[in-house]
Structure 1
Amino acid sequence: MESLKVQDYMNKRPVKFSPEMPIAQAVEALLSSKQSGGPVIDAAGNLIGFLSEQDCLKQMLDSTYYREQIAHVDEVMVTEVSPVSPNDSILELTARFVKDGYKMYPVVDDSGCLIGVINRSDVLYAIDVHLKDEYKRTA
């Protein structure tokens, strides 16, 4: 199981956001991608934050009260992000998902540049494939 790596199961084309993007545009991107959140990157592709559905819901709720409030991603994104490496083990990542309760982690290279995301479904799929392969070998 240690041989299963994040890079083999991550989404290499996630929805991404820029800090100056309006929240309304970010919501449209989330809805069309059917993702629960996504990384916020700077012009160089470096990870600078994360925007979730939860962040957007709060902002959308606030906007219904004030009618004209136009927020941008950098005003509501989370800046304390815990990325993972493409070489991390799926087993270790599974333990992080269980411990931290996150739905998704951004995947960055050694220089901090975003290269993808991995979510709980991706990890479940990796484990399922591994278990099925092991079952076939022992049957």
Structure 2
Amino acid sequence: MDVERLERPVSEIMTSPARTVDPEMAVTDAARILWHEGIGALIVETDEVAGIVTESDVVRGVCASHDPEQLRVRELMTDLVITVGPEETIRDASVRMQDNDIKKLPVVDDTGTLVGVVTTTDIAESIAPSFDDVLAEFAE
């Protein structure tokens, strides 16, 4: 693996803008957004990043026999949000995810403003050699 790939800034691989929702949104509406947009998490935002709600959170809430029409995002979200800065490296983000057993990191700038989100999939795709790179190795 080309270790230089790990030293690139998160800003090069993050998804921006990140999809945000209000904490008072019904869980059914959040689930529809996740499904229709093909994403795994929503950043809960008020004036700042207030939390994150994932597909797993939604499933857990429904499995606990909560009525998803009545249940609000704020009731399921994780409010202790681990973040990463856009200038931090892909390695930094990877370590932070591993240390905290999480798969998604909101990306916030120095002022605390949400600028994107980075996932384990983004990281894997950024560090894995491309098919062209693999073919070039065999051609040498």
Fold shared by both chains (TM-score > 0.5): yes
- Which of 18, 22, 27 aligns to 1:23? It is 27
What secondary structure sits across from 2:128 in the alignment? Answer: helix
* Residues 30, 37 of structure 1: 8 Å contact kept: yes
* Structure 2 partner of 1:33: 37
TM-superposed deviation, 1:29: 0.5
The Cα shift of 1:60 comes to 1.8
Stretches of structure 2 lacking an aligned partner (at least 5 in a row): none
Structure 1 residue runs of 4 or more that deviate by more than 3 Å after TM superposition: none
Segment drifting more, 11-20 vs 95-104: 95-104
Please point out which of 45, 48, 51 is paired with 1:49.
Answer: 51
User: Which runs of 5 or more structure 1 residues have no equivalent in the other structure?
Assistant: none
CA-CA distance at 1:4 after TM superposition: 0.5
1:77-96 matches, cutoff 5 A = 77-96=77-96
Is contact 1:15–1:33 with CA below 8 Å preserved after alignment?
Answer: no
Shift of 1:109: 1.0
Which residue of structure 2 lines up, in the alignment, with residue 128 of structure 1? Answer: 128
- For 1:124 and 1:61, locate their aligned partners in 2 and report how far apart those are by CA, in whole Å: 30
The CA deviation string for residues 111-130 of structure 1, in whole angstroms up to 9 with x for no partner, is: 11111100011111221259
TM-score (norm 1): 0.82
Give RMSD over aligned pairs.
2.7
TM-score, structure 2 normalization: 0.81
Determine if contact 1:22/1:73 at 8 Å carries over to the other structure: yes
Match of 1:10 among 2, 10, 14: 14
Instruction: Tell me if the contact between 1:85 and 1:108 (Cα under 8 Å) persists in the aligned partners.
Output: yes
Work out the number of aligned pairs and report it.
134
Q: Which amino acid aligns with 2:90?
A: I
